[in-house]
Structure 1
């Protein structure tokens, strides 16, 4: 080809055409460097017919500078990029940018210099140097990454290098990964597991698209079951991608994988060092990395020979991206499987209603694991009505739950208390004048974190130290914590059971794979008696001695305007209940609630999942909600409230009038101020037959907005704040 159309990442410009020098080998998918004015940009060569642009005469074209030394993006991945951009009303360049997320993988040397501690103390010790030396034990990374990890300046670390306390190490970035052995440790599966595994393996060997819903109760061995088709893909020299919703789950999964295949898989998530990202990206693109376990962003990695795709805990809300390209990794995974022609397994104990409906209609093949592995039984579930069994004044755990906690401690068994609220208390106010601590950047209260002595916004990250006096009236010692967070529950357990060893498990305390691994090890070695945690503890963990689960506040998830609140609450409660009784000892679940007659709570108490899903299905059908209708949101924001309001009104004033589409709003978003931006929302509810994306593109395409206004489109929204 003598000319090439380039998809690049400059949002202000569309696709650009370039001349291909005679000695340059370029094809669709090639990653290239091109001139743009005085600068150089990176872009992807695309098919002209799939990326329309104004035609430019040959003599006006500038020449490409170089082709980067990475394999061209395969047609299947390019089709996925196009589909994702089209379906989610996103810029195609924004989607393509996710594929090239590891800029360091595209060029540069295959070795680099990292630094590690030598064990030598510097001649002159400063407070910052002491902090760095403590923080960097066992760490090795670049100066920049070490500085970020230790929360000190790069200058402090360069001083330690000069003093001989840090030494340089040359690292081979592109060293190969060990290959997993599909026959390393053959498991003994139950009859149900073997039947399901055989069906998956058959699909892998057929090398065709086949979407599956693996619907298995908690503890049924879903992971071991999908390991068998994974082994089949390895025997065929194909690659496998396993998506997990939380980085904290990765460590437990890695251990199970290594036990089965003899070596860990390749990991991909946002906490990787730049050298690790480069190594993984290049190994995936070359086909050398055989099994990748990652967060949702791993879905856009350039696999050379994909053979199987697994989405574990497929119901999880964290698979939905709520910033930038607002995609749902569960649904995009199915489309990637479609384009690649490979099976996709969606595994869950509490599938999303949309997935169940796809199985009901025959689009997904549903395979079930109805019982726990190895003879373990499902736990007994009891409801504690807090209007009748009230906790002691100033406490949050009812007498019956406290009694069961004491009983488990006497028996040497473990307990888990679940409350999906980080920190000590969700609101701090002055008992003298009523002043409430609010975030200056968001319409949200600051959450007290007593362990770190800070008031924090969980939306924008703003932090401040709790003052000794009320900022409004100046009264000393008048600040009151209102409501419980997990830290407060952990304090209450420590008061009730002073001899108990308590572990606090939240995204604040398990914020790295190393900390997650340490927690799992301590729990398995029975160094923990009571686990107090948020949603992180609801899935993936297997502790045989954990026999009691207490849900501190089952009503919390039902509050607010979330249109999927009932389903999400059921999933969360069922998942956390599933942590109990996974070994030989039977489990018990106690759910504290003020609304024992709510359909969600009643279904949990009766253990009747089908009845809950049937009722929720009818409610959705009546409301025209997914999966029977379509939702989309338009979010308008600006740092100027009047500007945001006027832009939202302009959108609302030009709304299309269509028989199968209802448009609500504009109205201030429930979170009307977020990260310093004022926000308005419109909600679109349409029949399945409506072409929602085309309607939105035509509608918004006619409008122009001030530079400070952002207009975001969220197809199939999960967040309504």
Structure 2
């Protein structure tokens, strides 16, 4: 009998062989269950071997075949490639593709009741209420109908027995509506139309190609890639399109734009979905019925059957980097997945990453330029506010210049956005009596004060406690004081300065879930908010027509630390947030508060000289051999004690393979040296661009035997240096 080689979503070194019993039509890519140890495990058939492969072997049998179309060959190849590149077990990567196993079986069903048109022989008040509810609501479950009518579920059963209600079983996970490719899109400018035509031509050829859609904020990049989506839908009746966004909030905000353009909302995929929503999307993608998917980075690992177009919106955004578990960058993974699928990739941004720009200039990517906003809107003027010369008042955070501009904007009936990338009230809580800085137990992370909830929160680990009335260190009463500004503290200051203004905070604390996010965005769009104070959640993808002033409270915060991309990230974020202003007829302006107005990133922002700034970044990194002109990998070790992790780190460095041009730095304490009670040490490995750094790290790891308490993680092309 045939032999199936099955990969399980577990940290195992290789697939396992199983015999396929007669009557089970198992193919390559099939989703199956098979015994592994004491348990039945879900797996995917990587390869079918001939009958002879089982000669002389006592093999266990495949026990179940799931009624789901097989995983495509490009997807299986992508899983293997991603595992090699990230130095991970293939089973770990497979696990990312199997995050909603309820989607492997048909949708659950429920019984709903609808009116038949018959009249009950016996009429009661309860029956009348329930009939009225059924007429208003249409087919619903017994619990919904009885609750709406305010009667017991027994009334439903009685009317069903009397023939007044008809019971039928329906699927609870309904298919997504099919998008319509022929609905009219926006009227495009000549520049937009030229870019759209280039994308449409590439999609029509059904071959792999990567584009950089490089357009200033508000230039209509979304409308341009909508044309590519429409072309993909027209060209191939089975084509699937993936649109990746860096923030869940953006996913919620853009759904209505998709519905307007294509007559149906796309299938969503992100961490904010319920289990039911996730299994629905997974199942519809696996069966090829979800034509357009919009989601966060993990949507890249869904089992598409005919993936023909991938769009990475805000491709520069650091949120595309997955830091936990399998570490990967969704932008880079998307390009490889598209190559395997023979699909088109569109990388869209107003501030492309240096890596992307270098690829475009070398000819690997085709660059499409959108240099202006359509219509009367234009880019905002950006002015730097030198806080050394015009500082805020003591214990305040807004300079006189910014306050005056806000008051002028409010008087004119226009809106202001204040940007500060710090949640909560204060990023540090200190005891005025003994100087103790409150930290998360077992870490060096400061606790952030959230005054609205009265809690102290660690934004790294999620640890949270009510704010103590006394200092935990010295016992002094009422001595704990918040230091520095968060968005709540800035909001407090604005309320004092502008008591008549309508003020709201937009952060992950206030926008928890799609409804809350949509509520804030809708109120801002409709002019019901005068001053919106937000974190980076406000910086991308939102269009507020009456917003004419953007104020950056602390432009220097992103420049701290040893991140090689700190300047680039700061420029990108501030450019994006400044670009929220003046997106309609009224001109906009941005005021950027900084103590370092001579920093290249600040000067480029004020001069609107993105390319000049990137040239400076390019020259520095090229000279030092840093990405994208060289390669980096990080290895993080952690152990319960500093002594243990230091001893193991010294042993590990002695096992590092020799490699021409490869440099190993460390071990050194990681920037977050203690996390969740574990002490951390870091190695950084630097190599020339032409070196297979993944293979080098895999060879190094193969030499190591770590004691049980020690954990190790590897990050190829690190974006975070924590």
Q: Secondary structure at the match of 1:459?
A: coil
Paired position in structure 2 for 1:200 = 199
- CA offsets, 1:601-638, max 9 Å, x none? 11111111111000000011011110000000001112
Matches within 5 A, 1:423-462: 423-462=424-463
Once the two structures are TM-superposed, the CA of residue 287 in structure 1 deviates from its matched residue by 1.4
Contact 1:442 1:459 in 2 (8 A): no
Matches within 5 A, 1:295-694: 295-694=296-695
Paired position in structure 2 for 1:80 = 78
Task: Flag as ranges the 4+ runs of structure 1 deviating above 6 A.
Answer: 160-164, 167-171
TM-score by length of 2: 0.90
Once the two structures are TM-superposed, the CA of residue 22 in structure 1 deviates from its matched residue by 2.1
Paired position in structure 2 for 1:90 = 88
Once the two structures are TM-superposed, the CA of residue 677 in structure 1 deviates from its matched residue by 2.2
In structure 1, list runs of 5 or more residues that go unmatched: 50-54, 115-139, 144-159
Q: Secondary structure at the match of 1:218?
A: coil
Q: Secondary structure at the match of 1:612?
A: helix
Paired position in structure 1 for 2:295 = 294
Question: Quick one: distance in 1 between partners of 2:103 and 2:92?
Answer: 18
Paired position in structure 1 for 2:108 = 110
Once the two structures are TM-superposed, the CA of residue 224 in structure 1 deviates from its matched residue by 0.5
Question: Quick one: distance in 2 between partners of 1:372 and 1:287?
Answer: 37
Are 1:43 and 2:34 counterparts?
Answer: no
Contact 1:102 1:277 in 2 (8 A): yes
- CA offsets, 1:278-315, max 9 Å, x none? 21111111111111101111101111222211000000
Contact 1:648 1:666 in 2 (8 A): yes
Are 1:29 and 2:29 counterparts?
Answer: yes
Paired position in structure 1 for 2:180 = 181
Question: Quick one: distance in 1 between partners of 2:195 and 2:170?
Answer: 43
Once the two structures are TM-superposed, the CA of residue 38 in structure 1 deviates from its matched residue by 3.0
Contact 1:173 1:276 in 2 (8 A): no
Contact 2:9 2:93 in 1 (8 A): no
Contact 1:2 1:22 in 2 (8 A): no
Contact 1:19 1:58 in 2 (8 A): no
- CA offsets, 1:235-278, max 9 Å, x none? 23211110010001112211111111122111111121222112
Contact 1:244 1:250 in 2 (8 A): yes
Question: Quick one: distance in 2 between partners of 1:644 and 1:518?
Answer: 48
Closer/same/farther in 2, CA of residues 484 and 163 from structure 1, 3 Å limit: farther
Q: Secondary structure at the match of 2:322?
A: coil
Closer/same/farther in 2, CA of residues 359 and 491 from structure 1, 3 Å limit: same
Paired position in structure 1 for 2:171 = 172
Once the two structures are TM-superposed, the CA of residue 161 in structure 1 deviates from its matched residue by 13
Closer/same/farther in 2, CA of residues 163 and 181 from structure 1, 3 Å limit: closer
Contact 2:10 2:95 in 1 (8 A): no
Once the two structures are TM-superposed, the CA of residue 645 in structure 1 deviates from its matched residue by 2.3
Closer/same/farther in 2, CA of residues 48 and 634 from structure 1, 3 Å limit: farther
Closer/same/farther in 2, CA of residues 56 and 450 from structure 1, 3 Å limit: farther
Closer/same/farther in 2, CA of residues 171 and 716 from structure 1, 3 Å limit: farther
Paired position in structure 2 for 1:15 = 15
Once the two structures are TM-superposed, the CA of residue 692 in structure 1 deviates from its matched residue by 1.0
Question: Quick one: distance in 2 between partners of 1:659 and 1:268?
Answer: 43
Q: Secondary structure at the match of 1:47?
A: strand
Question: Quick one: distance in 2 between partners of 1:285 and 1:659?
Answer: 44
Question: Quick one: distance in 2 between partners of 1:398 and 1:163?
Answer: 63
Contact 1:442 1:460 in 2 (8 A): no
Closer/same/farther in 2, CA of residues 226 and 698 from structure 1, 3 Å limit: same
Are 1:66 and 2:64 counterparts?
Answer: yes
Contact 1:173 1:279 in 2 (8 A): no
TM-score by length of 1: 0.90
Question: Quick one: distance in 2 between partners of 1:269 and 1:58?
Answer: 47
Closer/same/farther in 2, CA of residues 405 and 161 from structure 1, 3 Å limit: farther
Once the two structures are TM-superposed, the CA of residue 498 in structure 1 deviates from its matched residue by 0.6
Question: Quick one: distance in 1 between partners of 2:242 and 2:497?
Answer: 45
Q: Secondary structure at the match of 1:32?
A: strand
Paired position in structure 1 for 2:233 = 234
Q: Which moved more, 1:232-241 or 1:326-335?
A: 232-241
- CA offsets, 1:308-361, max 9 Å, x none? 110000001000000011010000111111011011000000000000000010
Contact 1:111 1:172 in 2 (8 A): yes
Contact 1:246 1:295 in 2 (8 A): yes
Q: Secondary structure at the match of 1:374?
A: coil
Question: Quick one: distance in 1 between partners of 2:151 and 2:316?
Answer: 48
Contact 2:6 2:45 in 1 (8 A): yes
Question: Quick one: distance in 2 between partners of 1:457 and 1:171?
Answer: 45
Q: Which moved more, 1:473-482 or 1:625-634?
A: 473-482
Q: Secondary structure at the match of 2:42?
A: strand
Question: Quick one: distance in 1 between partners of 2:633 and 2:290?
Answer: 37
Contact 1:543 1:579 in 2 (8 A): yes
Question: Quick one: distance in 2 between partners of 1:614 and 1:327?
Answer: 27
Question: Quick one: distance in 1 between partners of 2:151 and 2:642?
Answer: 50
Once the two structures are TM-superposed, the CA of residue 23 in structure 1 deviates from its matched residue by 1.3
Contact 2:12 2:91 in 1 (8 A): no
Question: Quick one: distance in 1 between partners of 2:12 and 2:259?
Answer: 47
Once the two structures are TM-superposed, the CA of residue 685 in structure 1 deviates from its matched residue by 0.9
- CA offsets, 1:346-390, max 9 Å, x none? 000000000000001000000000001222111011011001001
The root-mean-square deviation of aligned C-alpha atoms, in Å, is 2.3
Once the two structures are TM-superposed, the CA of residue 441 in structure 1 deviates from its matched residue by 3.2
Q: Secondary structure at the match of 1:308?
A: strand
Are 1:221 and 2:217 counterparts?
Answer: no
Q: Secondary structure at the match of 2:375?
A: helix
Contact 2:13 2:89 in 1 (8 A): no
Higher alpha-carbon Rg: 2
Paired position in structure 1 for 2:208 = 209
Question: Quick one: distance in 2 between partners of 1:639 and 1:12?
Answer: 26
Question: Quick one: distance in 1 between partners of 2:177 and 2:660?
Answer: 58
Question: Quick one: distance in 1 between partners of 2:151 and 2:326?
Answer: 41
Question: Quick one: distance in 1 between partners of 2:665 and 2:655?
Answer: 13
Question: Quick one: distance in 1 between partners of 2:188 and 2:554?
Answer: 37
Closer/same/farther in 2, CA of residues 188 and 375 from structure 1, 3 Å limit: same
Question: Quick one: distance in 1 between partners of 2:604 and 2:292?
Answer: 38
Question: Quick one: distance in 1 between partners of 2:640 and 2:629?
Answer: 37
Closer/same/farther in 2, CA of residues 569 and 62 from structure 1, 3 Å limit: same
Question: Quick one: distance in 1 between partners of 2:315 and 2:607?
Answer: 24
Question: Quick one: distance in 2 between partners of 1:225 and 1:589?
Answer: 27
Question: Quick one: distance in 2 between partners of 1:100 and 1:588?
Answer: 47
Question: Quick one: distance in 2 between partners of 1:668 and 1:503?
Answer: 40
